[in-house]
């Protein structure tokens, strides 16, 4: 699948007026890339940034984990859209797919099952992160992929010394390269997710506005308090993100009210329309993830490819 940007959107991502973009299009170095008004693609976005030195202010590095032990709440959809959007805005981003289902990897158009190295090789075999990273057409965006070969990762980690700290230690070596390290967790609890929690500053918890989600949240908060007691790790921020909120249904309104009364301090404090999830980064970037995700399974019209729009 190819992502193409509408001219107005391409200009907006670069912070350019139409005239400024026209002037940039004429630069020989950019002209030679064959982009231009008819087909701006992610690689052009990165090239325009590089050649014209259009970079956002560099943010201090943050490690952000999308986790809920309950399945299907939007961890992958939101984390991929959020990470990708930050990279489109010019931030250096590493997306880590921690789920052996490899959905985040596939969302990005990578053939997950044919990849020989995944997060497994980093955590279990001690392979350096650099050797596993898959670069993306958007130069600001790197991916650590996952696939089904990772299913035994919890068992493989079990006998290892320092088994809860493997990911934290592996990331320490690349922290200065990225502003955002975004992790998509599997819907399970085990050593891999424990590693992910230990390697995170912020936790983003996508929930669906239904009552089943409550059970998952209770378990998650109990786990977090154990983590603080046993492993002395305290997350800096925890944000619950209500995904797929549809205000026209009573169940969604009631679930939202219940979430507000039990978890008010953790709720992301804004709402979007139905079937759209909102996330805000620690630096205040606000974004909405809508179904128009960069997925190879859902090709879209040229120009409508942006997965997130800043609000
Ligand atoms: N905001 C949204 N609008 C529309 N569809 C959505 C939205 N968020 C998620 N979905 C859809 O809901 C399904 C589950 O989403 P997703 O795979 O992101 O959840 P998950 O929490 O990662 O699941 P798992 O626990 O299996 O990893 C997918 O089919 C996805 O396309
Ligand atoms: Mg998922």
pLDDT tens string 87-136: 999 999 999 999 999 999 999 999 989 999 999 999 999 999 999 999 99
Q: How far is the CA of 252 from the centre of ligand 1 (A)?
A: 17
Residues 6+ apart with CB under 8 A from 98: 119, 146, 183, 184, 185, 186, 192, 193, 196
Q: Residues 257-303: pLDDT tens digits? A: 989 889 988 987 653 433 444 444 444 444 444 433 332 222 222 22
Q: How far is the CA of 236 from the centre of ligand 2 (A)?
A: 23
Beta bridge partners of 287: 279, 310
Give SS3 for 233: coil
Q: Tell me which of 77, 105, 207, 296 to substitute to probe ligand 1's pocket, judged by most ligand atoms within 8 Å of the beta carbon.
A: 77
Residue ranges lining ligand 1, Cβ < 6 Å: 71-77, 99, 103, 186-187, 243-244, 275-277, 289, 291
pLDDT of residue 35: 64
Structural domains of the chain in order of their starting residue, each with its CATH number: 5-52 (no CATH), 62-271 (3.40.50.300)
Band of pLDDT at residue 152, cut at 50, 70 and 90: very high
How far apart, in whole angstroms, are the C-alpha atoms of residue 8 and residue 17? Answer: 9
More confidently predicted of 284 and 42: 42
Residue with CA closest to ligand 1 atom 16: 74
Tell me the pTM. 0.87
- Given 3-state DSSP classes, what are the helix, strand and coil percentages for the chain, each rounded to the nearest 5? 40, 15, 45
pLDDT of residue 298: 27
Atom of ligand 1 nearest to the CA of 71: 25
């Amino acid at each position: 699948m190819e992502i193409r940007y509408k001219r107005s959107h391409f200009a907006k991502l670069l912070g350019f007026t139409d005239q400024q973009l026209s002037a940039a299009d004429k630069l020989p170095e950019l002209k030679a890339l064959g982009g231009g008004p008819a087909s701006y693609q992610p690689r052009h976005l990165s090239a325009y940034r590089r050649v014209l030195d259009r970079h956002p202010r560099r943010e201090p590095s943050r490690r952000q984990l999308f986790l809920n032990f309950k399945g299907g709440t939007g961890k992958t959809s939101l984390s991929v859209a959020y990470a990708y959007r930050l990279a489109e805005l010019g931030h250096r981003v590493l997306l880590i797919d921690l789920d052996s289902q490899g959905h985040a990897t596939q969302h990005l158009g990578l053939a997950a099952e044919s990849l020989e190295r995944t997060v497994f090789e980093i955590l279990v075999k001690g392979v350096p992160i650099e050797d596993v990273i898959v670069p993306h057409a958007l130069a600001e965006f790197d991916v650590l992929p996952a696939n089904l070969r990772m299913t035994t990762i919890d068992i493989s980690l079990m006998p290892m010394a320092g088994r809860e700290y493997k990911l934290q230690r592996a990331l320490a070596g690349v922290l200065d390269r990225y502003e955002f390290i975004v992790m998509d967790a599997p819907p399970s609890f085990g050593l891999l997710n424990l590693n992910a929690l230990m390697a995170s500053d912020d936790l983003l918890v996508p929930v669906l506005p239904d009552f089943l989600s409550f059970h998952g949240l209770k378990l998650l908060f109990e786990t977090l308090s154990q983590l603080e007691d046993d492993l002395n790790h305290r997350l800096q921020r925890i944000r619950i993100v209500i995904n797929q909120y549809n205000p026209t249904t009573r169940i969604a309104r009631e679930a939202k009210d219940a979430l507000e009364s039990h978890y008010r301090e953790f709720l992301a404090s804004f709402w979007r329309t139905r079937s759209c999830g909102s996330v805000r980064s620690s630096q205040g970037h606000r974004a909405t993830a809508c179904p128009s995700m960069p997925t190879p399974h859902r090709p879209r019209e040229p120009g409508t490819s942006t997965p997130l729009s800043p609000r």
